[in-house]
Structure 1
């Protein structure tokens, strides 16, 4: 039996090796990793004619990574770099009227500093830094009319040292631990800093804190009429001692009070899972991703759900499907939802009727669909990788066939 097994293995490996010899000039090398470009965060313009995305490169000489914003025409005719500053740019977003391309960056700040919001007028000119905060913008979304933005801003660290203080070798204050959850991956030690929901008026540059207090807010989304916001927050007497995020609604104006839309014993729109709640085009429903029992931790199943804003009625659209879902988006007509579906070492783009029913695969196979964007005219782009190629942005035609748009890794892959 052992001899037969080796014979079978050889019969499978030899044809593959011969095929590789015909198509590849040399094997992948460690130095190739510095040539690899990490493409992420595709965002469509309102008319669907352009897709903005980020490209991150590693620099072996400085041991740093730099991210820039790029744009590509969705017809495949043009691909251009938008930002070239040494500091990284992230979260590119088009304003609803298409006039601005916004992003966050710490360019011009000491030692990288706090990320601020920048607006780039697509008619021409330099990008303008429109927030000058003692704190960092971690997330933001445009209002439907383009006159305001909802920002998530993290409080400034009161114990951080300036570049001048560091140059004088001033000793940093001691770290005082008075929280149950005192440290977090990437963020490091946690103090009393929180991140709050703000409204930013584009014309007046006025910033209003909607949720002062001792809680952290995440993943805001505007109602279609621009009058309300939904967001995810973990509250209670001691939020450090649980991981149960709930959805909250509030009017998008100063002095408004956040009220629970959905409070359960499982997590709704957990920020760790990166799925923003989304309003239906008619504003009557909100789609979101719901986690499982807290005892299951990261192994809990995440399902696609829809809640009626008026009465809180909840419906599971992926009930009975033992697979995780992420990143729901409503179809422009509000009759169905697109989302990402994990299954068998791959992630597909899927679609399900808003009332529930059969789940259809839009783009599947042995690939990882990391992200996607949908325009109001139905234009669809995906961020997808294959076992033999890093993630790139693709447009999808009516038949669901991917068309290359970003092509950031094509040149160096040809020789590998």
Structure 2
């Protein structure tokens, strides 16, 4: 491997050496090293999967990650928030500063049914590839292993408690394994998910059960919006090549989904109606409350209305346009145009607190394919039969190690701040 590295360094410094040949060398070097560590990463992933830890309790997971990073010679900090870990890898020369984020916690049911175990294995793999080849990279890489993503508080708390006084990345990246075929990566500029809101309508507790049922049904039918004959709430179709996210005619664009399972309860003289809304168009969000007020008036309950408010408004993942286009170009240039597939829609229901990092640093969030239908593996997050083809670990490590190396070593990108 050292001979490969020396050859790599020699060739990329030769004057006139073409970009295509440099990309080929990057591919061969990273692919070989990924193959070498693959079984080790699978073993770690399976260990974490067998020992899931809920948000706020990621102690054992933290120790595994900490030891792995320290063994690589990476500087480690664990005093930012909760069981978070920050790994800092400095290259031989100054350059860009890039951060990679992976989540640590399991689902509330005590299972890794969302793929965070895979994400951690990929993060550790990227760390090893770059640490073993730090002589060939310029700049600094930060590895953020974040707790408490499922509760949507980990990223925000890390920031509030001084993350960016410890690190100062120019750009940040992350991924989420999902039901795409293994071997595919999907990404797009701007919103990756629909905007998620939880709304609360407070009324005088003077409506009958039938009146409440009719009102919620009216709100559902009046607020819901989708393309003709489409059902964007059927998320099992997200990877369908005919109507899924990768098709320009996807059903997962220009919609508003209203969860028809309203939480209805009363306290003293007040009646509460609560539900989740998923809207793709940010400009429509400000119209929701006035529209509900109008609807309640039309149903002759205006005098019963006490208030309408959003009680949960998590930010959504919004990819930096320039970084996303650059990442697509780089990955397809190294591994071929079939690696990154386009995304024409916005996924409903899911979201990620990576959005808080993106509010501070330009960033890109990728979907990584984890399904293999031939093996009966479907990586539909949070589903009871969620499973992941572990080849996705290899794809993730190989692809994103290469991306980070290219971003660090392109002097034009560093000098121009692109």
Higher strand share: 1
More contact order relative to length (CA 8 Å, sep ≥ 6)? 2
TM-score tier by shorter-chain length is under 0.3
